[in-house]
């Protein structure tokens, strides 16, 4: 029996590799002689770097960068595929988790550190960059990233505008004379799991701004400023409205739009990028069983989350898929229509969130063992 274990992380509890190890531990108690292949997964957000590095035996490079509010933070990126591919999480430099609730203010937070991570990766002569957009604290349309890459965003006096979505109101012109030309020589794949446009009621500011600390008045200003940014892009770069309306342009506070406007890139579902980068299909084609999972499975899981991406591959080869979750939310049954055979919550009974997170490893081991025992008697 060959078992492919391909879970996402269980947020705030276990990394994808730790989940995979726990599943293997439980199965080994029942099937000690089975072949186990662990492929840590991610859907493009936090955990992307460590999942890919673990899955294909890469390395993590630490690099100090500018944080969301201009402070220095210890960022990182991954090198995989013999150093030819860099993997970057924008959250490593500009993530919401880097700020306390009191510090969150998208009028001031910047993507400057994202540009610094891109530049750091270029120093390793990579041919491809995979950039994940999840977990953003920003709403600056990627303006900070552009500045870090050598682009000049100038006010009416010819001075650089400041950081944050609020400063975009001062933008008067864009100058790309010093923009780093190496970026045109690499392949840039952007892991983007939302389809929101840049502006309006379904755009970056309205939909995602409040979770980043924006008040209703701030949301209005941020949306207005992103619209101003798009118009300047249209005038100075020959882009703008077309970019802002592309599905995914509103991802990560408009970073999707900034990437489309200033860099040669492609927005793709994160799980599709990860499936290809890990060679998951090669592992699954002759498997007997696939185990996947994530922290919560609910009606939203079918929209590009890891378990569905894994199941889509398994369906090609008629391999059954079992999914584990920390919790099952409303509408989780929808996943049965997408190639998942059965779903199990790892929590054995009523518990506090604190205990559920603390006991996640053992709960996964126990659940995996129970599943294996059931399979052993069928």
Q: Indicate the range of 12-26, 84-98, 174-188, 239-253 predicted with least confidence.
A: 239-253
Residues 6+ apart with CB under 8 A from 269: 43, 44, 191, 192, 193, 304, 309
CB atoms inside a 10 Å sphere around CB 357 = 16
Decide: 88 and 49 in contact? Cβ < 8 Å: yes
Residues 6+ apart with CB under 8 A from 331: 298, 299
pLDDT band at residue 343, thresholds of 50, 70 and 90? very high
User: Tokens for 354?
Assistant: 């604190």
Q: Is the pLDDT of residue 148 over 80?
A: yes
pLDDT band at residue 208, thresholds of 50, 70 and 90? very high
CA pseudo-torsion sign 87, 88, 91, 92: positive
Q: Please state, rounded to an integer, the average pLDDT across all residues of the chain.
A: 95
What structural domains does the chain harbor? 2-39+279-377 (3.40.50.10350), 48-270 (3.90.1510.10)
Place of tokens 């391999």: 319
Which whole number is the average pLDDT over 207-234?
Answer: 96
Q: Is the pLDDT of residue 365 over 70?
A: yes
Residues 6+ apart with CB under 8 A from 192: 44, 133, 248, 251, 256, 267, 268, 269, 270
Q: Is the pLDDT of residue 241 over 70?
A: no
Decide: 137 and 104 in contact? Cβ < 8 Å: yes
- Over residues 63-73, the pLDDT tens digits come to 999 999 999 99
CA distance linking residue 258 with residue 249, whole number of Å: 8
- Over residues 288-328, the pLDDT tens digits come to 999 999 999 999 899 889 999 999 999 999 999 999 999 99
Which whole number is the average pLDDT over 161-182?
Answer: 97
Of 13 and 261, more confident: 261
CA distance linking residue 120 with residue 350, whole number of Å: 47
Q: Is the pLDDT of residue 239 over 80?
A: no
Place of tokens 């249209």: 234
Helix pair 16-28, 360-377: axis angle to 10 deg: 40
Write the CA distances from 153 to 129, 232, 234, integer angstroms: 24, 10, 14
What is the predicted pLDDT for the residue at 240?
Answer: 63
Percent of the chain predicted with pLDDT > 70 = 99
Q: Is the pLDDT of residue 355 over 90?
A: no
What is the predicted pLDDT for the residue at 102?
Answer: 96
């Amino acid at each position: 029996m060959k078992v492919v274990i391909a879970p996402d992380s269980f947020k705030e509890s276990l990394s994808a590799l730790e989940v995979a190890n726990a599943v293997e531990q439980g199965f080994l108690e029942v099937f000690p002689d089975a072949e186990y292949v662990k492929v840590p997964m991610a859907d493009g957000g936090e955990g992307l770097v460590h999942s890919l590095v673990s899955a294909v035996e890469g390395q993590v490079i630490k690099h100090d960068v500018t944080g969301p509010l201009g402070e220095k933070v210890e960022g990182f990126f991954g090198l995989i595929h013999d150093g030819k591919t860099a993997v970057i999480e924008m959250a490593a430099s500009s993530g919401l988790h880097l700020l306390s609730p009191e510090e969150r203010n998208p009028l001031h937070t910047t993507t400057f550190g994202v540009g610094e991570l891109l530049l750091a990766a270029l120093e390793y002569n990579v041919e491809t960059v995979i950039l994940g957009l999840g977990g953003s604290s920003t709403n600056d349309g990627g303006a900070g990233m552009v500045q870090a890459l050598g682009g000049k965003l100038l006010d009416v006096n010819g001075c650089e505008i400041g950081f944050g979505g609020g400063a975009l109101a001062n933008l008067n012109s864009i100058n790309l004379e010093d923009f780093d030309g190496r970026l045109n020589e690499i392949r840039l794949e952007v892991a983007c799991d939302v389809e929101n446009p840049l502006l309006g009621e379904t755009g970056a500011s309205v939909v995602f701004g409040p979770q980043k600390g924006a008040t209703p008045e701030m949301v209005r200003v941020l949306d207005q400023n992103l619209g101003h940014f798009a118009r300047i892009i249209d005038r100075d770069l020959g882009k703008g409205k077309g970019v802002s309306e592309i599905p995914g342009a509103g991802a990560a506070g408009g970073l999707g739009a900034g990437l489309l406007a200033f860099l040669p890139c492609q927005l793709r579902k994160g799980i599709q990028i990860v499936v290809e980068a890990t060679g998951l299909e090669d592992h699954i084609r002759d498997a007997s069983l696939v185990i996947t999972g994530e922290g919560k499975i609910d009606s939203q899981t079918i929209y590009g989350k890891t378990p569905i991406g894994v199941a889509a591959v398994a369906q090609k080869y008629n391999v059954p898929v079992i999914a584990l979750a920390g919790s099952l939310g409303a509408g989780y049954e929808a996943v049965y229509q997408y190639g998942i055979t059965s779903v199990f919550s790892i929590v054995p009974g009523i518990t506090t969130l604190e205990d559920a997170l603390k006991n996640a490893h053992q709960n996964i081991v126990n659940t995996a063992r129970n599943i294996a025992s059931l399979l052993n008697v069928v």
